[in-house]
Amino acid sequence: MVAWLDPLPDNPLPRMTGSDLWPIVWLSLRVSGTAVLVSALVGVPLGVWLGLPGSRSHNGWRALVHTGMALPPVVVGLMLYLLLSRSGPLGFLGFLYTAKAMIAAQVILALPFVVGITMTAVAAVPRELVPQLRTLGATDRQVRWTVLKESRPGVLLAVAASFGRSVSEVGAVLIVGGDIQGHTRVLTTAIVFETSKGDFNFALALGAALLVLALSVNLAMLRLGGAARLPAAAP
Amino acid sequence: MTTELQQLRLPTTSADADSPAAYHVRQVVKSYGRVQAVDVERLDVAAGEVLCLLGPTGAGKSTLLRLLAALEAPTSGEVIFAGGPLGTEAAAAVRRRVTLVFQRAVLLTDTVRANVEYGLKLRGMRGDAASRIAAVLDRLGLAALADRPAATLSGGQTQLVALARALVLEPEVLLLDEPTANLDPARVALVEEVIGEDKRRRGTTVVWATHNMFQARRVADRVALLLSARLVEAAPTEAFFNRPGDPRTADFVAGRMVY
C-alpha cells in the first residue's frame, strides 16, 4: 500500500490480511448496533418525557444527561471493569472480556446521547402544539407519540450520533473487552493493536472500514429523516 | 353569501332562560403566580347559542376559553359542562366533545389533508373520513391546498386549516380564539358564514373571542364584555349594543373606552 508504512522486515508478528478484516467489522457492527438499539429503546421515550414541559425535577435530570454526554470512555471502562471483575459485585455474570461487557459499556456511553439529543429535538417543537393536540382529542399517549413524530429528524440524529460515539470509542471496550482476537477484537481496538505492532497498512484499512461504517449509518438515517432537515452526525 | 350574513345579523332568542345550558361558570378565578387572568363570578353559555367574548387584548378571553376547553383547571371555583364539573378525570372525555381553535395555530409538519385528518384518526374514524375532510376543505376554500405541506402556508391559510381541523370533528362546542385575526375581509366573511351555517345545521354551541365589536354584532346571539379579567356584562346582542346595562359597556361600544 504505502511503502514507507511497511513494517520492518524483521517484525516477528504475522501480517494481517483481508480475511482477518471482516470478522472484526462484523463484531464492531454487532456490538455497537446492539448498544444503539438498547439505548434507543430506553433513551427515546426518556428523551420525549424530559423534552416535554413538565415538573421542575426535569432540570436536574437534564443536567445529569448533559454530564453523561461528556463521560470519558476510559473512566466508564474502568468503573465497569471493577463492577464486572471476578471479585466485583457483578462478577457472577461472567461478562468480563465478552461482547456483552462491551455492549454494556457502549450503552452507558450512548444512552446520554440518545436522551440528550432527543430531549433537545422534542423541546424545539413549539410549546403551543401540545394543548392544540389535546383540544383535538389527543390522549397523553397520543400527544407524546405525535410530538415524537414531529421531532423525527432530531431523533434520527440522536441515533446516528450515538452510533458514531459507540463505534469510534476505544477506551471502554479495550478495558472490559480485552481485545481478544476473534472474540472481542473490534475495529478501534484492532487499530490500536496493529499500530502498536507496526502493521500500519492493516491499521489504515481498519480505519477506512470504520469510517465507511459510520458514513453508511449516517446516510441511512438521512434517508429515513428526509435529507434536507437532518445535519450529519460526526462519528 | 349576503343572505347568510343577513341571517347571522338577525337577533335570535336561543339564549332563553329555559334552553339547556352548555356551561355554568361559577366564581371562577384563574391566576398565574400573582397575576389574575380570569375572575368571573357567574357566566352561563346556553346550548346552541353563539356567545361572543368581547374585550381588549389581555382581558382574559383566551384564558377563559382554555378553561372552557378543559385545557386548564381554575385556581378556584367551578366550570360546569353538560351538568358535571370539569375535573381532571372528566377533562379527557370533555375534550372529545369540545374543541378550541387557537389564535396562533401550530400545524403538524405534514400536508393540509393530514392535519385535518388528525383528530379523526385519534378517534379511530375511517369510513366517511375522506368525504368529511373533502367537504370541510371545500367549504373553507382550501380544496386546492389539500396536498400542500402545512409549513408552506401563509398565516391566513394556517388559520383556516386550524378551523378546518376543528370543524371536521363536528364538536358539540366550538371555542374560537380570534379565528379571523389574520384573514382578509372576504375570508372573514367566509368564516363567519361557515360557522353560522354549522351552528344552524348541527346546533353547535359557539364561544367566540374577538376584540372586534362589529364582528360580535354580526355573529353573536349574546355578547359578554371582559375587562381586566372580570366580566362586566353579558346580554343579548341587540340589548348589549343598544341598551348597555353598564356604563363601561356603553363606553366600550361607543369607542370611548380607555383601557
Output the pTM of the full model: 0.81
Measured in angstroms, the CA of A106 and the nearest CA of chain B are apart by 33
B106 vs A132: CB contact, 8 Å cut-off?
yes
- What would the pLDDT profile of A194-225 be if each residue is shown by its tens digit? 999 999 999 999 999 999 999 998 888 888 87
Region of poorest pLDDT, from B72-86, B171-185, B207-221? B72-86
Per-residue model confidence (pLDDT) at position B259: 55
Q: Write out pLDDT tens, residues B78-122.
A: 999 988 888 766 788 888 899 999 999 999 999 999 999 999 999
The whole-angstrom distance between B166's CA and the closest CA on chain A is: 7
Instruction: Give the span between the Cα atoms of B118 and A5, in whole angstroms.
Output: 61
Residue B233 in this model has a pLDDT that exceeds 50: yes
Chains A & B: contacts with CB separation below 8 Å: 49
A131 at the B interface (CB within 8 A)?
Answer: yes
Tell me which of B68, B72, B106 to substitute to probe the interface with A (most A C-beta atoms closer than 10 Å). B106
Q: What is the pLDDT of residues B35-55, one digit of tens each?
A: 999 999 999 999 999 999 999
- The dihedral sign for the CA sequence B178, B182, B186, B190: negative
Q: Is residue B82 a contact partner of residue B46, using CB atoms and an 8 Å limit?
A: no
Preferred mutation among A127, A128, A130, A136 to probe B, highest tally of B CBs within 10 A: A136
Residue B162 has pLDDT above 50, yes or no: yes
Residue of B nearest to A147 (CA): B108
CA-based nearest residue in chain B for residue A139: B92
> What mean pLDDT is predicted for residues B56-73?
93
Mean pLDDT of chain B: 89
Which residues does chain A have with pLDDT short of 50? 227-235
Mean pLDDT of B14-27: 69
Place of cell 347568510: B4
Q: Inter-chain contact A128–B102, Cβ cutoff 8 Å?
A: yes
What are chain A's domains? 20-227 (1.10.3720.10)
Would an 8 Å CB–CB cutoff place A141 in contact with chain B?
no
A135 touches chain B (CB under 8 A): yes
Say if residue A130 is exposed, middle or buried (CB neighbours under 10 Å; 0-12, 13-18, 19+).
buried
Is the Cβ pair A128, B100 closer than 8 Å? Answer: no
Of A129, A137, A150, the CB nearest to B122: A137
Nearest CA in chain B to A145: B122
The predicted structure's pLDDT at residue B82: 85
CA distance A157 to chain B (A): 18
Which residues of chain A lie closer than 8 angstroms to B162, CB-CB?
A: 132
Residues of A in contact with B71 (CB under 8 A): 131, 134-135
Which pLDDT score, from 0 to 100, does residue A16 have? 66
Q: Is the pLDDT at B136 greater than 90, yes or no?
A: yes
Amino acid A233: pLDDT: 42
Which residue out of B66, B81, B109 would a mutagenesis test of the A interface target, given it has the greatest number of A Cβ atoms within 10 Å? Answer: B109
CB-CB under 8 Å, B109 with A131: no
- Interchain proximity A131–B71, CB inside 8 Å: yes
* C-alpha distance from A228 to closest chain B C-alpha (Å): 14
Report the 10 Å Cβ neighbour count for B119.
Answer: 22
pLDDT tier at B15, thresholds 50, 70, 90: very low
CA distance A131 to chain B (A): 7
Measure in Å the smallest separation between the Cα of A126 and chain B Cα atoms: 7
Under an 8 A CB cutoff, do A136 and B119 touch?
A: yes
Say yes or no: A139 contacts chain B, CB-CB below 8 A. yes
